[in-house]
Structure 1
Amino acid sequence: MGRVEQTPPALTPAQVDAYLARIGATRPDRPDHAALAALHRAHLLAVPFENLSIHLGEPVVLEPAALLAKVVDRRRGGFCYELNGLFAELLRALGFRVTLLAARVYAAPDRLGIPFDHLALRVDLDEPWLADVGFGSFAREPLRLDLTDPQQDPSGSFTVRPDGEDLVVSQDGEAQYRLELRPRELADFVPTCWWHTTSPGSHFTRSTVCSRQLADGRLSLSGTRLIRTTADGTRTVEELTEAETLAAYDERFGFTLPHLPKVLHPAP
């Protein structure tokens, strides 16, 4: 896995400070593994994985300025293209060597999703690492890309194994996505992002989700259901009223919505 030419960072020092404040992290002394892991954990605990823009009629713009305004200024979340796309800019501004990688998500054990279905990050330190803050319930720590042995994480056991020219990333024995190693640019994901935000065939247009990791589990809001999953897998579901759901976005996830999102393509 050779190194690739880096894109210059797009964030100013002031924007980096605001981003770090958003995720409750301090500026690292050096771009090493400890710093990467701390930033990765902080991001997952602070910034939700959510697809609400689709159902609020808001455009999803894959440009650093627009992503910064959404995630940092408006304290919102996003899905993989937004979260990993912006996290890459933070890491670059802090001196990390970052490459955007495309992946196809496994819709079933023997069926892959569409190309450019997912965006993940390769971070080159002494070894190459996989960073992914945009895949919902996934690894809390970065994963070694060049290690085929199981890697233990608070979210489970992960493996990264070669398959032809790609890598298959699995969680607890179940394949999650097939990762290409060819370097990509954020603009490469724009067509598939458009498909995910508009097509009736995209699962993102058929339901709403807002979810973030907690120190001891995960909290999710799906429609009007508030779901708490503890570290041992215990799951509790609370059905909310519309008013309580709107309040939960503010009280549980830290941002205010003007109204409840309306599902773009509800399931029949």
Structure 2
Amino acid sequence: MDADLDAYFDRIRYDGPRDPTLATLQGIVAAHVATIPFENLDVLLGQPIVLDVPALLRKLVHDRRGGYCFENNGLLLHVLTALGFAVQPLSARVRLQRPREFIPPRTHMFVRVELDGAPWLADVGVGGLSPTAPLRLDREDEQATPHEPRRIVREDGRLFHQALLRGDDGAKWHDVCEFTLEQMPPIDREVANWFTSAHPQSHFRNRLVVARAAPDGGRHTILNTELTFRRRDGRAERHDIQSPEELLAILGEVFGLHFPAGTRFTCEGLPW
């Protein structure tokens, strides 16, 4: 177990304390989101997504890859448990860019952490908006993070994790995910993971997504053939990726994801 933890902390470049405290949780979450990307590349390569701990350690730590929520947050759940934190996996529906009248599938998982009687949300796997700090689950006021401000609001028996995003029309609160504090045991994660990786209507089958938080408060993302660097103040720099070779170079240079020359990702969102 110590070897696994040492390898994980080396992977995320974290050398802080390991006692189960808020400071430790904050340090781990910030380091994880900045180093282990959110990505769905194995889905596009036709590779299975395996959620047991040895597979997560092999892929995300030793092979220095990324993954989506069940992988990133599954690894975080394992690490926090090993450190002595009181944790629970909770289920959620991702609501990014989706209207309230639309009901998305319950295919997201994050980690609830209990610290000194207070509940916290830790989520290192919600794409380009993974919070870079844990959030209090029992507060509805604005909470600062190293990146965007966040809040948890309650409406009609549901909770909504929201981010304050800045754009040309000013700053507005946007839903990130919706949840009810229901736990997500392994069998539910397996079923949701199958849908996410294999169902024809899963958006992870139809588009390429890669994201990583930058230490300066910005975020790097790829959506299909568009690379975006969004600054903390909301300003965005965009670049159109022109070829599979350029995509592989950007994955390596910006996200630390290295693939053999000639690797091709296949989905509707890519023209080649």
Q: TM-score, normalised by structure 1?
A: 0.89
Counterpart CA distance in 2 for 1:49 and 1:98 is 22
1:83 corresponds, among 40, 56, 72, to: 72
Q: 1:114 Cα shift? A: 1.3
Deviates more, 1:135-144 or 1:94-103: 135-144
- Match of 1:112, SS state, is coil
User: Which position in structure 1 is the counterpart of 2:131?
Assistant: 139
Contact map agreement 2:143 2:150 (CA 8 A) in 1 = yes
Contact map agreement 1:121 1:132 (CA 8 A) in 2 = yes
The C-alpha deviation readout for 1:47-91, integer Å capped at 9, x for no partner, is 101010110111101111111111001111011111001111011
Is residue 155 from structure 1 mapped to residue 139 from structure 2 by the alignment?
A: no
Q: 1:165 Cα shift? A: 4.7
- Match of 1:42, SS state, is helix
Gaps of 5+ in 2: 165-172
Is residue 42 from structure 1 mapped to residue 35 from structure 2 by the alignment?
A: no
Deviates more, 1:242-251 or 1:16-25: 242-251
Identity of aligned residues (%): 36
Counterpart CA distance in 2 for 1:62 and 1:98 is 18
- Match of 1:227, SS state, is strand
Q: 1:157 Cα shift? A: 2.9
Counterpart CA distance in 1 for 2:229 and 2:134 is 24
User: Which position in structure 2 is the counterpart of 1:260?
Assistant: 264
Superposed CA RMSD in Å reads: 1.9
Counterpart CA distance in 2 for 1:191 and 1:247 is 34
Contact map agreement 2:208 2:269 (CA 8 A) in 1 = no
Contact map agreement 2:224 2:269 (CA 8 A) in 1 = no
Task: Figure out how many residues of one structure are paired with residues of the other and give that number.
Answer: 255
Question: CA 1:189 to 1:225, structure 2 compared with 1: closer, same or farther past 3 Å?
Answer: same
Q: 1:146 Cα shift? A: 1.0
Counterpart CA distance in 1 for 2:159 and 2:238 is 35
Contact map agreement 1:101 1:182 (CA 8 A) in 2 = yes
Q: How does 1:214-229 map to 2 (within 5 A)?
A: 214-216=214-216, 217-229=218-230
Q: 1:267 Cα shift? A: 8.8
One-letter code of the match for 1:156?
A: E
User: Which position in structure 2 is the counterpart of 1:184?
Assistant: 184
Counterpart CA distance in 2 for 1:159 and 1:224 is 31
One-letter code of the match for 1:235?
A: A
Question: CA 1:60 to 1:179, structure 2 compared with 1: closer, same or farther past 3 Å?
Answer: same
- Match of 1:175, SS state, is strand
Counterpart CA distance in 1 for 2:18 and 2:145 is 25
One-letter code of the match for 2:39?
A: E
User: Which position in structure 2 is the counterpart of 1:175?
Assistant: 175
